[in-house]
Amino acid sequence: MAVPGIAIRMEHNDAKIRAKLLNLLAFGRDQSDAMRDIAILGGSSTRERFRTEVGPDGKRWKPSLRVQISGGRTLTQDGHLGDSINIRSGRDFAEWGVNRIYAAIHQFGGKIKPKSAASLRFRLANGAFVSAKSVTIPARPYLGIDAGDEADILDILQSRIQGFVNAG
């Protein structure tokens, strides 16, 4: 998903999913229904990660400083990132993502440095202002396909294939 001027693409290349998808495409029919179901699954799974604070790799996210100080959940202070999850699908694709400009720093982690000032200045959860030369944001992956998603995608594709076989 893209923000004007920014695009990040992640692909999941799994041999089992690829084989099922190729079998399905061999029927030569519009696969929009299956792709829509996969996109819905991906969007739902991503929303669940914001609730559980666990990435697709099964690792719990490092709690943010705000959460450590005042409680709550990481990456959900105002809910904008999780609320921006969107899905798209078509005849031969399914995709889901978020459209916030700060999405990548949370997905992949990184270091934030001031553009022109000597330091960054920001307010902590307790209201105090602090300055820092840089801030390191740990990766908290929310986009991706976990083992459960993979099994569900395979089920969607297999069900669609079986429907074509049964229809003759």
Q: What pLDDT is attached to residue 125?
A: 75
Q: What pLDDT is attached to residue 8?
A: 53
Q: What pLDDT is attached to residue 9?
A: 60
Residues 6+ apart with CB under 8 A from 71: none
Residues 6+ apart with CB under 8 A from 85: 43, 46, 47, 96, 97, 98
7-16 CB contacts, 8 Å cutoff, 24+ apart: 8/97, 8/103, 8/104, 8/107, 10/143, 10/144, 12/144, 12/145, 14/145, 14/150, 16/150, 16/154
Q: How would you write the pLDDT of the chain (168 residues) with one tens digit per residue?
A: 444 444 556 566 778 887 777 777 766 778 899 999 999 999 999 999 999 999 999 999 999 988 988 899 999 988 999 999 999 999 888 999 999 999 999 999 999 999 999 999 988 777 889 999 999 999 999 999 999 999 999 999 888 888 777 776
- Torsion of the alpha carbons at 11, 15, 19 and 20, rounded to the nearest 10: -70
Query: Minimal CA–CA distance to 64: which of 124, 104, 129?
Result: 124
Query: Minimal CA–CA distance to 136: which of 165, 168, 113, 114?
Result: 113
